[in-house]
Amino acid sequence: MDLSIKKNEKCIVGLPRCDYVFNSQRSCFIGYGFVQSSLEMEILRSILDSKSMEAIDAGTKLKPGQNVFCAKICSKILTSQFCIILANNDIQDGKEIPNANVNMEYGLILGFNKYVIPFQKEEQKLPFNIAALDTIKYSTTTFKELAEKAIQDAIDETRTKEQNKP
């Protein structure tokens, strides 16, 4: 992985360049459906906290007077060390429907070439456009163990040269 300093010099929505630095925060952006994934979020926050990583998601902090997409999503994805996606479908009228916001965040993460850990409940199906991507399928009994291993792997893979110094 290229660990040199890389600024975001071209805004994807046409605003002036932001110059946020890729991978500059010891944080993990988590894209998830706010209604469907509360247990998983509790587990992820606990694991990340135990590893001195800040868990960030689009729903946690208000940014009054700022462009919501830039302040709550794009900048957080850019500066995070790695990302997690909970690609769990929403259930509406008994039907599974992919969460549009989560899939938009997933696309942005992939477009920025960020290290990403995608999870989905084992009984659900991925939308066709991401079905070919490796995804960790889980149940309520396997999620914590799978998440702990995947997060440690992500930390090891995305660690900078400075963080590797004794």
**Cα 88 to Cα 125: distance, rounded to the nearest angstrom:** 9
- Residue 119: closest CA among 151, 73, 159, 74: 151
**Cα 42 to Cα 22: distance, rounded to the nearest angstrom:** 26
Contact of 119 with 84, CB cutoff 8 Å: yes
Q: Average pLDDT for residues 96-116, to the nearest whole number?
A: 92
Name the pTM for this structure: 0.84
Residue where the block lists tokens 């009984």: 123
Res 156 pLDDT > 50? yes
Q: What is the mean pLDDT of the chain?
A: 83
Cα distances from 53 to residues 66, 128, 130, 162, in angstroms, run 25, 32, 27, 16
